[in-house]
Amino acid sequence: MEAVIQRIPSRLFALSAVIVWLFGCAVAPPVQEMSDARQAIRAAQEAQAGKHAPGTLSQAEELLSHATRSLEQGAYEDARRAAVAARQKAIAARDRAVESGADREM
C-alpha cells in the first residue's frame, strides 16, 4: 500500500508537467517565425524584389502585417502561419529578383 501511495505524487507531477508543457507550446508567441519573415523580406528588398517581383514582395509584406496584427491580438497560431507564409513569399520574391538580375548580367 505504501508503494502505491508513494507513486501517486510522482505520477501527478509527471501529468502536471505534461499539461504545462502542452499549454506552454500552444500559447507561445511566434517570435522566431516573425523574425525570420522580417529578415526574408529585408533580403528580398535588398535584392530589388520591389522592381523584379513586386507582386510577390507585396504579398509577403501583407502577410507579415497580418501576422503582426494577429500577434497583437494574441492569436499566436494564426500569427505563426502568416509569418511562415510571409517568409516563403519573401524568399520566392528574392529568388525571382536574383534570377532577373543574373539574366541582365549575361
**Secondary structure letter of residue 97 according to DSSP:** H
- DSSP class per residue in 34-81: HHHHHHHHHHHHHTTHHHH-HHHHHHHHHHHHHHHHHHHTT-HHHHHH
Nine-digit cell string for 85: 507564409
The residues, ordered by sequence, that sit 6+ positions from 44 with a Cβ below 8 Å of its Cβ are 53, 57, 60, 90, 91, 93, 94, 97
pLDDT 10s digits, 3-22: 555 666 666 666 666 665 55
pLDDT 10s digits, 67-78: 999 999 999 999
pTM above 0.75, yes or no: no
Q: How far apart are CA 103 and CA 17, in angstroms?
A: 56
pLDDT 10s digits, 49-106: 999 999 999 999 999 999 999 999 999 999 999 999 999 999 999 999 999 886 565 4
In contact, 98 and 51? CB cutoff 8 Å: no
Residue 41's Cβ-side half-sphere holds a number of Cα atoms within 13 Å equal to: 22
